[in-house]
Structure 1
Amino acid sequence: MARTTYQDLLDAGVHFGHLTRKWDPKMSQYIFMERNGIHIIDLNKTLTKLEEASAAIKQIVKSGRKVLFVATKKQAKDIVAEQAKSVNMPFVTERWLGGMLTNFATVRKSIKKMSNIDKMTKDGTYDVLSKKEKLMIQRERIKLETLLGGISDLNRLPAALFLIDVKKEHIAVTEALKLNIPTFAMVDTNSDPSSIDFPIPANDDATKSISLITDIIIKAIQEGLDERKREKEDEAEKEAAAAKAKIDSGEAAKEEAAAPRRERVVTAATAEPAAETAAAETATAEAEAPSEAAADQPKSESAE
């Protein structure tokens, strides 16, 4: 099922490119025509590439990994931050710090520093500081939150990057290439798509265009999260069923092992009265035998 339609892309202005004099020749395969000095993007190819990107990003999320959203341009930052938060994905919308991926260990130290400041405010350490120290810590906390707040929960390198405007985010693209991290991006007619794994030819300046493309990617991510959740539930049910079957089989084995024992107990209980009866009969016979012999003896004497 198509995630969007040709008309939706048209209404959002996804087809509008840059001025012809600002184009990148590598984007020629995605350009439909030129009109009034502006390149028009081929929306058929946009639809195809968008489907490919959505399917790929869905599989990444389904495997339990994170996608980092990068959009530092003014018209995109608020849209991307809001959308990324809705699916609990990390994002960078203020400024891409050099080495954010290639020097991730240092970035993690800064994030840890931010969490330590939060602990200070909770355990009372912050209250005993002087007014000047409090002000300095507050300023540092705000700065760290602005730059790194969106990746505070990112404990390891992301599995993929989704970018708005490849030209503006070229440092992020370079770092992703060095670390072999897949990249998904909106690529306008003035950008180079060759460095992007999943380019989506689209207008990366209009808010409607950015909102539509980002929303489609977010829906694909949500689908991946839902499928992962269902798979986990199915696995849990299977494990519970297997555990129950194991318990049942164990009880059955115990019953089977106990059956011969019960039979032996019953046999022994039945055998004891029979043995007692046989012994009693033997004793009676033995008692009667001498008395009969005595009865026969006087008769023989009188006969004589």
Structure 2
Amino acid sequence: MAKVEVKELLEAGVHFGHLTRKWNPNMAPYIYMERNGIHVINLYKTVAKLDEANEALKKIAASGRKILFVATKKQAKDIVAEKVANVNMPYITERWPGGMLTNFVTIRKAVKKMASIDRMKKDGTFNTLSKKERLQVDRLRAKLEKNLGSISEMTRLPGALFIVDTMREHIAVKEAQKLNIPIFAMVDTNCDPRDIDFVIPSNDDASKSIAIIMGQVTDAVAEGLSERKAEKQVDPEEGKGKKREKITQEAPKVASSKIESAPKAKKIEEAPVVAEAPAVKDDTKPTKVAEEKKVAAEKAVESKMTKSDDFTKIEGIGPKAAEAIINAGIKSFAELSKAKADEIKEILTEASSRMAHLDPTSWPKQAKMAAKGKWDELKEWQDNAKGGVE
């Protein structure tokens, strides 16, 4: 991914902010100067923040989570739809449906309704309806396609949100904050950057400015997806390598058993000589081996402790909540399945007052399914549950 230069951003008009009388004082660190009653954005800070956001988006895409792009303003609609469609990510360009994240189960039902209409058309039941009913169903299908067609493949809450103009999409910001979903955004001089996790100070009104930022962001996402694809292709080869190692380890054992069984008479004669050998030498060898084994075991335990399961796969757990749980010493799905909901609630409230509203009642149950590798069952449960609650 080629890094964008300040000159390119300058040519695209990314530095133009809003009128000085409309500014938000919290944007002061990102403003370079004021010229003719308009604030000018510091593009060096834009480049630095864009690189930081791209790295984070790349990691989220490589982990397999979806990134939801939101841009309902006229200038951004077509640009976002075109760029995001290339990386196969969900996007909202018509209007933000209230409860899109906080009431995700209801939104999923609307998407399933769209799929059921398609099935009706395939199996012939659609033709059995009257002309008026067919028209009504077609209108409903067109309305659902317009508002929710781009998120039809998003079966669970997204791993992150990317927003163009946070003032216009303030409802999306609030919903993401409530669920602790990280927010990436193009933030102009009239917006509040305190609500955003990854701020990209830039002009969110000009189409050229939106196009260049979206181009960089989608390139980072595409890079993350290609890394994930490469890892998946490597994994089967690693599995074959492990099998080969097992075969080679077993082969010497067979050979040694044949050698031992051959010279029986000699071994009986040599037995007393081995018995007369000093006991000190024989004792020292096993102790060294035992020590090496202990060290290896301790290293294995340490490596297991440092690695932790991805708790964000559980409905209701965002990145910040997952971090709080891991910091509390719970690092695997098996450990989380044994934890009590009250204990988890205490951990979250101690970590941050913003997480006090979270309901961890179903988390141990979901963790139990995840620990056993029942991902299809977990996904089905999450689709039927309402915000992670039965």
Normalising by structure 1, report the TM-score.
0.82
Deviation of 1:258 after TM superposition, in Å, equals 7.2
Q: Which residue of 2 aligns with 1:22?
A: 22
- Within-5 A mapping of 1:204-283: 204-247=204-247, 249-250=249-250
Deviation of 1:246 after TM superposition, in Å, equals 2.9
1:79 and 1:211 in contact (8 A); partners too: yes
Deviation of 1:255 after TM superposition, in Å, equals 6.5
- Within-5 A mapping of 1:142-181: 142-181=142-181
- Within-5 A mapping of 1:98-109: 98-109=98-109
1:187 and 1:199 in contact (8 A); partners too: yes
Q: Which residue of 2 aligns with 1:138?
A: 138
> Against the structure 1 CA distance between its residues 109 and 263, is the aligned structure 2 distance closer, same or farther, given a 3 Å change threshold?
farther
1:20 and 1:37 in contact (8 A); partners too: yes
Partner SS, residue 161 of structure 1: strand
Deviation of 1:244 after TM superposition, in Å, equals 3.1
Partner SS, residue 69 of structure 2: strand
How many residues in Structure 1 have an aligned counterpart in Structure 2? 264
Instruction: Give the root-mean-square deviation of aligned CA atoms.
Output: 1.9
Deviation of 1:63 after TM superposition, in Å, equals 1.1
Q: Which residue of 1 aligns with 2:268?
A: none
Matches of 2:77 and 2:6, distance apart in 1: 25
Deviation of 1:117 after TM superposition, in Å, equals 0.4
Matches of 1:163 and 1:44, distance apart in 2: 21
Q: Which residue of 1 aligns with 2:5?
A: 5
Partner SS, residue 229 of structure 2: helix
> Against the structure 1 CA distance between its residues 255 and 140, is the aligned structure 2 distance closer, same or farther, given a 3 Å change threshold?
farther
Matches of 1:263 and 1:64, distance apart in 2: 59
Matches of 1:189 and 1:108, distance apart in 2: 35
Deviation of 1:253 after TM superposition, in Å, equals 5.3
Q: Which residue of 2 aligns with 1:50?
A: 50
Which amino acid is the alignment partner of residue 81 of structure 1? A
Partner SS, residue 55 of structure 1: helix
Deviation of 1:18 after TM superposition, in Å, equals 0.8
Matches of 1:172 and 1:23, distance apart in 2: 22
Matches of 2:180 and 2:173, distance apart in 1: 10
Q: Deviations over 1:90-144 (max 9, x none)?
A: 1011000110000001101001001000111111111111111110000000000
Which amino acid is the alignment partner of residue 203 of structure 2? N
Q: Which residue of 2 aligns with 1:198?
A: 198
Partner SS, residue 185 of structure 1: strand
> Taking every aligned residue pair, what percent have the same amino acid on both sides?
58
Matches of 2:101 and 2:222, distance apart in 1: 25
Q: Deviations over 1:186-232 (max 9, x none)?
A: 00011111100001000000010000001100011111111112222
1:2 and 1:51 in contact (8 A); partners too: no
Which amino acid is the alignment partner of residue 7 of structure 2? Q
Matches of 2:225 and 2:191, distance apart in 1: 31
1:26 and 1:193 in contact (8 A); partners too: yes
Partner SS, residue 212 of structure 1: helix
Deviation of 1:83 after TM superposition, in Å, equals 1.1
Matches of 1:210 and 1:65, distance apart in 2: 24
Normalising by structure 2, report the TM-score.
0.65
Partner SS, residue 97 of structure 1: coil
Q: Which residue of 2 aligns with 1:288?
A: none
Deviation of 1:49 after TM superposition, in Å, equals 0.6
Deviation of 1:247 after TM superposition, in Å, equals 4.2
Instruction: Tell me, yes or no, if structure 1 residue 31 matches structure 2 residue 43.
Output: no
